[in-house]
Amino acid sequence: MVETKVLLVGATGATGSSIIDGLFQAGNFEIFALVRPASMDKPVVEILRQRNVKIREGDLEGPEEVLTEALRGIDVLISSVRESATQQQDQISLANAAKRAGIKRFVPCGFGTITSPGGIMRVRDQKERVYNHVKQLWLPYTIIDIGWWYQIAFPRVPSGKVDYVSFGVAEEIIGGGNVLSALTDMRDIGHYVAKIIVDERTLNRMVFAYNTVITQNQIYNLMEEISGEKLERNYVADETIRDRVAQCRLLAEKDPTDLATLHSQLLAEHRLSWGVRGDNNPDYAKYLGYISSKELYPDFEPVDFRGYLKSVVEGKAKNVYIDDRSVVVEHATALEATR
Amino acid sequence: MVETKVLLVGATGATGSSIIDGLFQAGNFEIFALVRPASMDKPVVEILRQRNVKIREGDLEGPEEVLTEALRGIDVLISSVRESATQQQDQISLANAAKRAGIKRFVPCGFGTITSPGGIMRVRDQKERVYNHVKQLWLPYTIIDIGWWYQIAFPRVPSGKVDYVSFGVAEEIIGGGNVLSALTDMRDIGHYVAKIIVDERTLNRMVFAYNTVITQNQIYNLMEEISGEKLERNYVADETIRDRVAQCRLLAEKDPTDLATLHSQLLAEHRLSWGVRGDNNPDYAKYLGYISSKELYPDFEPVDFRGYLKSVVEGKAKNVYIDDRSVVVEHATALEATR
């Protein structure tokens, strides 16, 4: 069997780690990771090497010719770069190099919730600029969004027994708490990716890969049922979210380089999109042109959300990909900062 | 039979006129036109009335509530507004009103050549902002692009016998003249629209409706063959087009309100897109996500390009929609201005 050669940019991040796991489990891929010259000796890279990930040296901010060489012979290029200030736009030269290297499919950084470009979420608009650039290059692509993670979607319980895996970003219920939003277990991202990137039906398309659709009230109900504890429900009005977004945008305008502000903005805009507007659901995704993972892979059985919550309450959940889940931690920190 | 109620914004323009003709010929539509209060007594509006087009008074720049009332009871709203400085963005409040009025399908102004958003053509980016707004409203839509018009795609011949229908905008051959580009007879636009707007397959999709695909050299060859005259071929290097675009953008930056500059920019960017980049073709459209009219309506027989050119050379062509084809004239004027 000829293995598909896949190179990851952002291999050590949360999404990248799930993708590497998913590709290894699928078994039909030769896996490469792009690593910055300065990071070649870092322990996380050593772990990749030990796992049989082939390391290629390259820098998104370096010359395009060098980047092009680093991509030689690769079939599928996947980018899961950080949603911080500049990394999304670094994908412009990555796309140029991919075109020059003859990459057969580029998966630019998506891996987020469903929303529309044009002023709702800064990070979505940054991604849109990358997508438009990819399209101008006539580069074969697939955009994959995955909704919100199981791992950050459940609230704490009074006994504190789920604190060991909680990031504290689900302690607010937005609006009436009845907006449907799509969730995916982080560990399933890689399984979806392994299917999608070798699927002709997904070429030059957007794919929405998600496990389940649920409201915040339903999540709280589930947690009460499973834990047997009564949860406090901290409802936050839509208007408060809108105000928070406006405030973050003002601050970001004053200092566009302040990472704490940018993270607060990201978090507030996420809530605006999935919590207030209700963007992050399969019907809206379909309207926007996404193909659904349910339609593509009806037989795939992702991790069940109730089962996951049960493992959380029983103390059996793991902080998956925690070592490098700095983005989540930053989100959590950013949330605190906006309070 | 229940007739579909269609309201046009921009009914007196070239595209709007073709659409009204096409809808009347199809026979299953009740046709409305939105007319500005100040234009209610204009002769062109009187002609619409005589043709049994129902006039509704409304102003895109007026209050959204008033605009909403003007759209009451309408099933399909079609916008073919001018590609000048401000009219595209006026569609933002039109879309808001359409959402409030419960419009079942909005066709925002497309009706152009295929290209990608993100810095290639200013007017395409203005349209993209409208499209994004429509998507944020979760408003049912169809985007229809139609390529370049037959009526402005052929060159003059030395004898002057086609001058009676020439706009003088095909006197340059871009690059080597071998780039394929899609053409449509203006008179077919309405026929396509009449099919597309009642077709469930085109809901929330982009449609590329075009008659034929041809290079500039092939057009010149055809004209020589049909007219029996030898044509001069004025090749213009890709680099010249790029320079022209850069120059127009500089001027437009200095004075964003100067219509002559904006029209020159529009024309130069069109040439960059279809002539240099080769965007305006069915393969690229498919890559961008468009459904093709060939795929949707394989039995439809549009006006044949060779037959059209024959009628032009024989003196039998008509300046279709000429009375209101001011945009074309402006384009032609703009071209002169850039020389």
What are the pLDDT digits (tens) for B33-44?
999 999 999 999
* Cα of A259 to nearest chain B Cα, Å: 26
Select from A116, A121, A201, A207 the residue whose CB has the most chain B CBs within 10 Å, as the one to mutate to test that interface. A116
Residue type, A218: Q
- For residue B103, CA distances in Å to A66, A143, B88, B139 come to 52, 30, 19, 8
Indicate whether B325 pLDDT > 50: no
Distance linking the first and last C-alpha atoms of chain B: 54
Indicate whether B139 pLDDT > 60: yes
d(CA B125, CA B269): 12
CB within 8 Å: A117 and B132: yes
Indicate whether B330 pLDDT > 60: no
* Cα of B162 to nearest chain A Cα, Å: 37
Q: What percent of chain A has pLDDT over 90?
A: 86
- CATH number 3.90.25.10 is the correct assignment for the domain at A149-183+212-280+303-338: yes
Please report where in the chains the tokens 């139609």 appear, as a residue.
Answer: B146
A325-337 mean pLDDT: 45
pLDDT at B57: 96
d(CA B302, CA B282): 16
Secondary structure (DSSP) of A161-194:
TTGGG--S----EETTS---EEEE-HHHHHHHHH
d(CA B273, CA B116): 9
- CA torsion through residues B60, B61, B64, B67, sign: negative
CATH number of B4-146+185-208: 3.40.50.720
Interface size between A and B, measured as CB pairs under 8 A? 39
Name the pLDDT band for B105 (thresholds 50, 70, 90): very high
Q: Name the helix (H) or strand (E) containing A310.
A: helix A305-313
d(CA A102, CA A74): 8
Please report where in the chains the tokens 């020389």 appear, as a residue.
Answer: B339
CB atoms within 10 A of CB A46: 12
Facing residue for B204 by CB, picked from A120, A204, A287: A287
Q: Known catalytic residues of A?
A: 127
d(CA B209, CA B280): 12
d(CA A223, CA A240): 25
pLDDT at B263: 87
Indicate whether B316 pLDDT > 90: yes
A284 contacts on B by Cβ (under 8 Å): 138
Q: Name the helix (H) or strand (E) containing B181.
A: strand B181-184
Indicate whether A331 pLDDT > 90: no
Tens of pLDDT, residue by residue over A97-131, are 999 999 999 999 999 999 999 999 999 999 999 99
pLDDT at A280: 98
Q: Please, are residues A290 and A206 in contact by the beta-carbon 8 Å criterion?
A: yes
Tens of pLDDT, residue by residue over A131-150, are 999 999 999 999 999 999 99
Q: Tell me, what's the ipTM? A: 0.93
Residue-range domain boundaries for chain B: 4-146+185-208, 149-184+212-279+301-338
Facing residue for B138 by CB, picked from A120, A205, A284: A284
pLDDT at A334: 43
pLDDT at A335: 43
d(CA B184, CA B211): 5
Determine the 3-state secondary structure of A78 from DSSP. Answer: strand
**Nearest residue of B to residue A273, measured between CA atoms:** B136
CATH topology classification for B149-184+212-279+301-338: UDP-galactose 4-epimerase; domain 1 (3.90.25)
A105 contacts on B by Cβ (under 8 Å): none
Facing residue for B117 by CB, picked from A132, A284, A287: A132
pLDDT at B256: 86
B292-303 mean pLDDT: 98
Q: Please, are residues B148 and B280 in contact by the beta-carbon 8 Å criterion?
A: yes
d(CA B134, CA B107): 10
Indicate whether A11 pLDDT > 80: yes
Tokens of B63: 């209050």
Contacts from A231-234 at CB under 8 Å and sequence distance 24+?
A231/A155, A231/A157, A231/A158, A232/A158, A233/A173, A233/A177, A234/A171, A234/A172, A234/A173
pLDDT at A259: 86
Determine the 3-state secondary structure of A129 from DSSP. Answer: helix
Tens of pLDDT, residue by residue over B166-184, are 988 899 999 999 999 999 9
pLDDT at B326: 47
**Nearest residue of A to residue B114, measured between CA atoms:** A136
Find, among B186, B111, B121, the residue nearest to B153 by Cα.
B186
A229-254 mean pLDDT: 96
Tokens of A104: 């057969």
d(CA B209, CA B292): 6
CB within 8 Å: B284 and A138: yes
d(CA B139, CA A287): 9
Name the pLDDT band for A85 (thresholds 50, 70, 90): low
Indicate whether A302 pLDDT > 70: yes
- Kindly provide the residue ranges of all beta strands, DSSP E only, lying in A10-151, ordered along the sequence: 29-35, 54-57, 76-79, 105-107, 142-145, 148-149
pLDDT at B324: 43
**Nearest residue of A to residue B133, measured between CA atoms:** A118
CB atoms within 10 A of CB A198: 16
d(CA A94, CA B165): 48
B204 contacts on A by Cβ (under 8 Å): 287, 289
CA angle A217, A218, A220 (to 5 degrees): 65
pLDDT at B243: 97
B299-308 mean pLDDT: 98
Tens of pLDDT, residue by residue over B184-232, are 999 999 999 999 999 999 999 999 999 999 999 999 999 999 999 999 9
- Share the mean pLDDT of chain A: 93
Q: What are φ and ψ of residue B172, in 5° steps?
A: -115, 140
Facing residue for B289 by CB, picked from A119, A129, A289: A289
The better pLDDT of the pair A263, A135 is held by A135
Name the pLDDT band for A252 (thresholds 50, 70, 90): very high
Q: What is the CA radius of gyration of chain A?
A: 20
CB atoms within 10 A of CB B116: 24
Tokens of A87: 């990394």
Tens of pLDDT, residue by residue over A158-185, are 999 999 999 888 999 999 999 999 999 9
Find, among A152, A174, A172, A173, the residue nearest to A276 by Cα.
A174
pLDDT at B85: 61
**Nearest residue of B to residue A279, measured between CA atoms:** B136
A129 contacts on B by Cβ (under 8 Å): 118
d(CA B220, CA B158): 13
A207-214 mean pLDDT: 98
Name the pLDDT band for B15 (thresholds 50, 70, 90): very high
- CA torsion A191-A197-A198-A204 (nearest 10°) is 140
Tens of pLDDT, residue by residue over B67-97, are 999 999 999 999 998 876 678 999 999 999 9
Indicate whether B62 pLDDT > 60: yes
B91-111 mean pLDDT: 98
CB within 8 Å: A135 and B287: yes
Indicate whether B5 pLDDT > 90: yes
Sequence-separated (6 or more) residues with CB below 8 Å from residue A13 = A80, A81, A82, A324, A325, A327
Find the chain A residues whose C-beta atoms sit closer than 8 A to any C-beta of B.
116-120, 129, 132-133, 135-136, 138, 204-205, 284, 287-289
- CATH number 3.90.1580.10 is the correct assignment for the domain at A4-145+185-208: no
d(CA B125, CA B119): 7
CB within 8 Å: A287 and B136: no
Sequence-separated (6 or more) residues with CB below 8 Å from residue B224 = B230, B231
Sequence-separated (6 or more) residues with CB below 8 Å from residue B131 = B108, B141, B143
Whether B127 sits among the annotated catalytic residues: the reply is yes
CB within 8 Å: B118 and A138: no
pLDDT at B334: 43
* Cα of B265 to nearest chain A Cα, Å: 19
